[in-house]
């Protein structure tokens, strides 16, 4: 008796981030309701409050979407570079920060199209779970070499499942915690979000201010 060979399911195709975001921005200029949802406004407030320094010289925010966090980060930064993969998001963010001379918005894909130089602040907010494993590893490598000697890295992500995407915020933060060789200054989590802060400078905010 011969056995029929088992048919194998084709491997699941990884979602295409460029197409995904293009579809979202075709339907709305604020796909995640960043301006209106209390979750989003609260998350931005928590993110800003978690930064251990009041001011930063040079900051980078990849995945800036339509610029709602960007405009709130700007007063804390001497120079802020924001970037997004999607051209519609880039134009919306540019409009949002047009009155701010210290902010520049560019179209960049993460992690390969990474800007040169060091940053005193890098903000990874609600974006790293759209990366595959190789891209996430590449991001962590970029973060390791791009953060200035006493700089701050902050990451904040949604913890609930995202339809069509394999990773959660918890997975992203597990990878960051395991692979970043930096002191972790603080962590916050609840049912919806997780936030971590790292810095080569392990001093607390009080110690940083001490004369």
**Could you tell me the CATH number of the domain that includes residue 131?**
3.40.50.150
What was the pLDDT predicted at 4? 42
Enclosing domain of residue 196:
43-206
Q: Is residue 1 part of a domain?
A: no
Which contacts (CB < 8 Å, 24+ apart) does range 76-80 have? 76/48, 76/51, 76/121, 77/102, 77/103, 77/121, 78/102, 79/104, 80/104
What was the pLDDT predicted at 24? 77
Q: Is residue 83 part of a domain?
A: yes
Q: Is residue 95 part of a domain?
A: yes
CB-facing half-sphere around the CA of 32: CA atoms within 13 A: 19
Q: Is residue 7 part of a domain?
A: no
| Dist CA 152 CA 110 (whole Å) | 19
Domain count, the chain: 1
Of residues 68, 106, 109, the one with CA closest to residue 85: 109
What was the pLDDT predicted at 189? 96
What's the average pLDDT block by block, 10 residues per block, for the chain (211 residues)?
39 66 78 87 97 98 96 98 95 96 96 96 95 94 95 96 84 96 96 97 89 61
Handedness of CA 136, 138, 142, 145 (dihedral sign): positive
Q: Is residue 4 part of a domain?
A: no
Per-residue buried b or exposed e for 23-56, using 16+ beta carbons within 10 Å of the residue's own CB:
ebbeeeebbbebeeeeebeebbeebeebbbbeeb
Helix (H) / strand (E) element for 66: namely none
CB-facing half-sphere around the CA of 94: CA atoms within 13 A: 11
Q: Is residue 70 part of a domain?
A: yes
- Residue 30 is classified by DSSP as S
What was the pLDDT predicted at 165? 79
What was the pLDDT predicted at 3? 39
Predicted TM-score (pTM) of this structure: 0.89
Q: Is residue 170 part of a domain?
A: yes
Q: Is residue 187 part of a domain?
A: yes
Contact 181, 144 (CB under 8 A): yes
């Amino acid at each position: 008796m011969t056995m029929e060979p088992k048919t194998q399911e084709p491997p699941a195709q990884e979602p295409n981030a460029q197409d995904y975001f293009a579809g979202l921005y075709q339907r709305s200029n604020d796909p995640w309701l960043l301006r209106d949802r209390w979750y989003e406004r609260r998350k931005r407030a928590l993110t800003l409050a978690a930064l251990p320094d009041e001011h930063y010289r040079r900051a980078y925010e990849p995945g800036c979407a339509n610029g709602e966090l960007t405009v709130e980060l700007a007063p804390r930064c001497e120079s802020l570079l924001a970037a997004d993969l999607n051209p519609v998001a880039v134009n919306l963010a540019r409009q949002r920060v047009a009155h701010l001379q210290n902010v520049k918005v560019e179209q960049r894909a993460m992690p390969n199209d990474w800007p040169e130089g060091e940053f005193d602040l890098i903000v990874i907010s609600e974006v790293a779970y759209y990366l595959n494993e190789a891209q996430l590893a590449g991001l962590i490598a970029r973060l390791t070499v791009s953060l200035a000697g006493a700089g701050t890295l902050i990451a904040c992500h949604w913890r609930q499942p995202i339809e069509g995407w394999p990773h959660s915020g918890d997975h992203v933060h597990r990878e960051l915690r395991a692979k970043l060789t930096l002191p972790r200054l603080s962590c916050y989590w609840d049912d919806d979000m997780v936030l971590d802060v790292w810095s080569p400078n392990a001093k607390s905010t009080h110690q940083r201010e001490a004369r």
